[in-house]
């Protein structure tokens, strides 16, 4: 497994996501400015009346992007800790095939299934 390559792709993916999230925020600020007389930039506006018909779609996309970004941040952190490739929950090695498919995965398949089931 080429860790440098994986790290590089995680870093560029992180950049892309940060940009995407920023664009969501900017788009939202702009639409809020148009919709209200006040300038509101903070996240509390997400709870307020929804002037944009597609805001909910944006929100879930933004949410996905943020969640993915968290995983990527954690994966990059694990490179620093030299623990990349091991499960955050049980410490077992994550299979290479799994890491190749989803390089920012931080749990082994067993733990992920367990945690997803709750
Ligand atoms: Zn595990």
Distance 89 CA to ligand 1 centre (A): 5
Question: pLDDT band at residue 69, thresholds of 50, 70 and 90?
Answer: very high
Q: At 103, phi and psi to the nearest 5?
A: -65, -15
Q: Are 44 and 32 in contact (CB under 8 A)?
A: no
CA distance 15 to 17: 5
> Is 10 a domain residue?
yes
Q: How many domains does the chain have?
A: 1
> Is 41 a domain residue?
yes
Judged by average pLDDT, the poorest of 49-58, 62-71, 93-102 is: 49-58
Distance 91 CA to ligand 1 centre (A): 6
Check residue 86 and give its pLDDT.
97
Distance 2 CA to ligand 1 centre (A): 22
Element (H, E) at 40: none
SS3 86: strand
> Is 107 a domain residue?
no
Question: Rounded to two decimals, what is the model's pTM?
Answer: 0.76
Distance 85 CA to ligand 1 centre (A): 11
């Amino acid at each position: 497994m080429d860790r440098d390559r994986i790290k590089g792709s995680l870093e560029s993916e992180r950049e892309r996501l940060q940009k995407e999230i920023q664009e969501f925020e900017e788009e939202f600020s702009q639409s809020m400015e148009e919709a209200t007389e006040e300038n509101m930039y903070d996240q509390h506006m997400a709870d307020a009346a929804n002037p944009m018909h597609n805001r909910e779609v944006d929100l879930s996309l933004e949410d996905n992007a943020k969640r993915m970004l968290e995983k990527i941040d954690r994966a990059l952190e694990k490179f620093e800790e030299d623990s990349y490739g091991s499960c955050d929950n049980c410490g077992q090695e994550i299979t290479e095939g799994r890491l190749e498919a989803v390089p920012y995965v931080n749990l082994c398949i067993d733990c992920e299934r367990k945690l997803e089931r709750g």
